[in-house]
Chains A and B, each alone.
Chain A
Amino acid sequence: MVEESEIQGLIDLAKQGDSNAFGRIYDLYADRMFNFLIFRVRHKETAEDLLHTTFLKAWTNLKSYTRQNAKFSTWLFQIANFTLIDHWRTKKEVIDIDKVENISHFARDPVLFEEYSYLWDALAKLPDDQQTVLELRFKRDLSIKETAEIMNKSSVAIRVMQHRALKNLRKNLKRQGLM
């Protein structure tokens, strides 16, 4: 886990134009951000491009970040989520589960991936915002408040969305005879 004081020191340096400090920030957060992005786009190269865009946006907007507003990781997830939304809006691309790259090749634990591939398939059939809310809440362990900040919605809206997402997920799994 990254120490908040260490992060704050790096942010202060990066705000003064120290790109090496920002490189260190990238080293600390790149994996978490990439895993969030690849879950949503299911394509390694695209996820890498989006990761690059996310961190570049963070660099150019770093001066607007203040600790009082949100945790740095929350702020980064927010940028990543907006980057994803922009990506879908410009690409007009609908993810077709059959045409998706077999990302099992890139899973660090292929056995685990195989074990839960049915869950991935069921999740992929959910609406975008419901996929995001489940990813942030249960895979990234973010609070309702943090998820609300990232998705630019109220806490109540996130609770409702989470409830609907779980219901839909169960429905999808039941249809496949998996529950």
Chain B
Amino acid sequence: MFGLDPKTKQDLIEKLQKSRMSFGFNKSGVRNRLMMSIDQHQTVVSEIKHNHGFRFVLGSALAVVLMTIGTFAYADSTMPGDKLYFLDQFQEKLALKFPRSAESKVQLQAEILDERVKELGEIPKVEDLTDELRLKAVEESKKSLIDAIDRTSELKQNVNLKNRSKSDLNKLLIDLEKIAEKQESEVNHIRERSLDQETKLELEKNLEDIKKARMRARLESESQKIEGEKIERKENGLEKFLNDD
């Protein structure tokens, strides 16, 4: 084995120290590269921070949207008197505000009306509902019926409407009449169960309005039917005339 006496050790250390030297290199070139890398690094960090901020905003917005959708979904199943019932109605109003064709809006209104009537059907089952809320639910339901019939009638007056669209609106009016009939029945049921005379009177007034609206829907659909029959007769007559000729 090789030993390492103090003198040899010192000699080696001195040699190492004396051999200390420096080398030339592209110092400014490396510096420039370094500064460029630092700039890029700072840009990336700033972008990450920006993206992080953006993601945070996006995440928050998404959370709000999801919460809103969830709340609306929950509100959809609410009943008059529930805390989130107003959201259900707000959602319906919002849907009607969206740009869509008049026919599509009427169709949507009919669906809203159908839901109102279903709610009416549930009202007698809810024991702790106040008379005020029962009356309010009936009024809301009635308003939806009248609005739907009004819109459908208005749309029918449009001379530019194609025959097919008129026929669809006619079917809708027939549906509205049926819904109104059901609504009448539900309101009657509520009225029978009501103990407060004043509420009963108010409910009877609403029943009268619903009846009127139902009759209007029937008249509108029948007039359309009569008109259709007239056109059919005219077409048949013309055909006969042509054939006789």
Contacts and interface: CB of A to CB of B under 8 A. Distances in A.
Nearest to B5: A170
Given A59-B41, A163-B4, A170-B12, A120 B27 contact: no
A52 B30 contact: yes
Interface string B16-32: 11111111111101110
A103 B23 contact: yes
Contacts of A35: 21-23
Query: A-side binding surface: helix, strand, loop or mixed?
Result: helix
B38 interface: yes
A20 to B, nearest CB: 9
A139 B23 contact: no
B2 A174 contact: yes
A38 B16 contact: no
A113 interface: yes
A108 interface: yes
A50 B21 CA distance: 19
Contacts, number: 99
Contacts of A51: 25, 30
A106 B31 contact: no
B41 A107 contact: no
A158 interface: no
Given A17-B42, A166-B12, A167-B4, A116 B19 contact: yes
A142 to B, nearest CB: 12
Interface of B is mostly: helix
Contacts of A103: 23
B20 A139 contact: yes
Contacts of B29: 48
Nearest to B18: A116
B114 to A, nearest CB: 64
B15 A19 contact: no
Contacts of A44: 23, 25
Contacts of A112: 19, 21
Contacts of A144: none
A33 B23 CA distance: 11
Contact of B25 (A38, A115, A169): A38
Given A138-B17, A166-B4, A174-B2, 7 more contacts: A30-B30, A48-B29, A107-B22, A108-B24, A116-B19, A138-B20, A139-B16
